[in-house]
Structure 1
Amino acid sequence: MSSPASATYPAAGFEESPASLSRADTHEDVTPSEIAVGVIIGRSSEYFDFFVFGIACVLVFPSFLFPFLSRLDGTLMGFALLAVAFVVRPVGTAISMAIQRRWGRGTKLTVALFLLGVCTVGMAFLPGYKDVGLTAVVALLILRVGQGLALGGSWDGLPSLLAMSAPKERRGWYAMIGQLGAPLGFVLAASLFAYLYSSLSVQEFLAWGWRYPFFVAFAVNVVALFARLRLVVGQSYSELLKDRELQPVPVSRVMRDEGSNVLLGAFAALASFALFHLVTVFPLSWITLYSEQPVTQILGVQIVGAFLAAGAIMVSGWLSDHLGRRKLLGGMAVLIGVFSFMAPVLLNSGEVGSTMFLLLGFVLLGLSYGQASGTVTANFSPQYRYTGAALSADLAWIIGAAFAPLVALYLSAQFGLLAVTVYLLSGVACTLGALNLNRRMERRDR
């Protein structure tokens, strides 16, 4: 896909300023529920793109593009391509912010989603290694770079607007709405692949069956484009975004003046981002490589897990409003740390163990990821919040998620599944450290 790329952008911080709250409902024709529809459509389409590519890295690309390598090495090469979009995404963010300052938010979003759609459908027509050799790999690399640039430009500010327009006592509930795009996108992508994989022979699936999800991704992007444009180019929404100071500023200025807040925002949610790929893409690769469990069965369990994650995301909204986002994120980081010690045992315990790993992992992902957006964005000055939120998310994806399946699979194949424990614990340490630092900064500034 695409990365999830757009997927998780910080929405609002732990506390909003009185000035912000006083402006909360000045546009009567703009309702939080209406914004929520646009947020869910936009995030779901982007996550669907992402998971289509991620699943193809396991089921398609090793045989289609890297038949000259072992199954393990071919999967690792696929995961390297997966990471490319995350690496170039900040560049896309910088370019898109410049486009928006010059031509407006609607133009920026149209360019970004058009590029995303073209690159995604281009993958559907990709020739294999047997047809054009390494040219096929280079072509996929170029298309993946295009996806990353497009994802950097897909930030529309709607999640931030949603959280800032929500009632004060329900900010956590509204902040989690955009995160529902992750499980929804996964369910659709995994269901498509499971259906095609079970309905076709392996030869048919590798020859042409795998291309259909990429065509569907293109169609979904078209629908998402019109749904989001309807919101962001409307006069009421434009005025409200401007009123909330959700406007782009040069990336260089944000990094110069508030780069520390960008870093803090990225590290505060790292435990959740580290877990993201380790319960979705990584286990699909590990179980298919080192067990006899059918692919459709693995995907079926993951689909159930994604539904559980969706429920857990909604629970996270309720918990955040009652406990506070920072306490919830800190508590979930500790639970992810506990889960990391269970991971090697469960993944080495056959079908029952792998099923427990997936279901527990998805529940933890939902509870933590539901509030991973907007962890410390209140630290940004108002004029920097729009761009700073996007950059924090870009950096969190790079550090926490981009290389997770590649690193976890390689190290696990070499040294055992203890590598998964170490990777998750590193994310937990970063989250707890960043949240503690943020708490000290708030006390110092009082």
Structure 2
Amino acid sequence: MLACLTGNVGVEGGWAGAYNGFTRKFPLGMADLPEDLKFESASVPMSSGWIDAIDDHTSLTKETGLKGVDKLDYPVKMIWNIASDFMMTSGPDLNRVRAILEDEGKVECIICSDVFMTPTAQWSDIVLPACTCFERWNIGGTWNNGDYFILSQKIAEPLGEARSEYDWLAECADRMGVKDAFTGGKTEEEWVRFMVEETQKEFPDDDLPDFDTMVKEGVAYFRKEEPRVAFKEQIEDPKNNPFETDSGKIELFSKTLYEMKNPDIPATPHYVPVAEGPGAELAAAYPLQLIGWKTKARDNSSYFTHPWLAQTQETVLWINPLDAEARDIADGDIVKVANDRGALKIAAKVTSRIVPGCVAAPTGTWYNPDADGVDQNGCLNVLTSSARTSWTQGNTQHTNLVEVAKL
């Protein structure tokens, strides 16, 4: 079985924080595959489902987040990792991931296409140098919020042996005898032109620019004729626009959840303690709650090695003076942060700007373990949990207990 990880996923658990947004319109994407090229595919939870599919494919069911198929008949043996450092930096429980990937009886081939030699690329068998956004054509919408899309233009030829993914995937399709079906007879630039033109047709009242105008302006804006109103259709015409519930209304009590009898997801909303919170038994050994934040020094984990960006943000662990004093930690001391999943080394910043009982550090640092497995870059994901939320199988990387000790 083949697994594919795509996208620049670098969040340390943002979806677990109930992030959401509303965008009314998106630019159109590439057309669907022809019917004769479609094949059965499965999807698993991004946070840790992919590593479970490698380690024990029988553990993936509909109840644990498997979609598209009823069961996985085979374990994952090959990974295509395109434009992502999730596998070995931004994903949870990296020491577990490393142990599974290094087991040659499991995954037999990992192919990575990226611009930088990330930790994910370093753990891959084949590394394909990719293009930057200045060396290929593309089109992109915004992430949930924002009524516009942008044009990424090719202004320089790729350096060295770098190639766009579309380019080498089209060549692979050619060698398999399906190039015309894969490309639709279009080049990368022609596909982008097609998407701009089709988006114009889809939204004729928005006065969107054509492709040639976008080449000059770089951005297209959807019109905002009126304010956004959540559930507008249900409010104005509830009979013809019911909610997707048994009653068609907003329900404060869920019969579906009640019948599941799962204490983690009660039928009526109320507080449910997390597995690694301050009241957990584990807090006796690891009493500090670990928090990670996004930083101006990089884009998720991208550009971690850029020297100028590194100057904008220190990689330090914030710790309250009360917690620091109890551990004989002074500002600037090198400390070890650990739990049962792993450990990292980092400098301490003693500050009252963080409450007692919590420690925090910036996310997105590249995984860099020493011979003993202790991360040297302050990569928080040696400490984060790969456990998933009940039913929705969401990310729980934000809820982790640790202990800190002076080195």
TM-score by length of 2: 0.25
Higher normalized contact order (CA 8 Å, seq sep 6+, divided by chain length)? 1
The higher radius of gyration belongs to: 2
TM-score scaled by length of structure 1: 0.24
Q: Which has the higher strand share?
A: 2
Q: Which has the higher helix share?
A: 1
